Amino acid sequence: MDILSAAKKRHTAKAYDAERRIPEEVMQQVYDLLRNSPSSVNSQPWHFIVANTPEGRARVAKAAQGGYAYNAAKINDASHVIVLCSRIDMDDAHLNALLEQEARDGRFRDDAARAGQDAARRGYVRQHRFGGKDVAQWLEKQVYLALGTAMLGASALEIDATPMEGFDQQILDAEFGLNEKGLASLVLLSLGYSSQADFNKALPKSRLSQEATFTFI
């Protein structure tokens, strides 16, 4: 499937066939897409929790209660659910880990290039921490890049997906001890194969026209 067809075919699944599982080799491609997603200054400020068992999905579904109960079935009936988490801050440990990985991957031609990369990335962190005072929001934006990458990839792999912000973040963070790890849950992504109850699959896609969406100069 070409990328434009995947984008046009993609829809937000509203109901899943609880009996169908995504093959592991297909899910591995989704994991690779997430890991290879773009991020500002290669910050990679994310962690992904994959619930691929009924027990795991039930733990995630604890956060879909009360006013969020409408999302419980989309979690429990899906094949896999991914909790996309964002780092709360860019600490030295993470910055150093990034730099070491880039060195192992051959990103630097010499020590000066390594030092330049480190200085540039830390400069952006300082800018958002002390200038805009929005470092957490900046990091969250990078996680949404990963979400978009995964959703388009899922459509290309012919699996259905549902992004969900409708859950109790405090419950989910406590369930997985995320804050103690310097993380916070941000958005969920259910993956699987939609059922006959997925009314959204049959509806036409609706987008504003090119004239309304673009300005060409």
Q: Which residues are designated catalytic?
A: 14, 74, 165
Element (H, E) at 83: strand 80-87
CB count in 10 Å sphere of residue 176:
18
Instruction: From residue 168, give the alpha-carbon distance in Å to each of 25, 52, 171, 208.
Output: 31, 20, 6, 32
Task: Answer yes or no: are the C-beta atoms of 163 and 129 closer than 8 Å.
Answer: no
Q: How far apart are CA 54 and CA 7, in angstroms?
A: 30
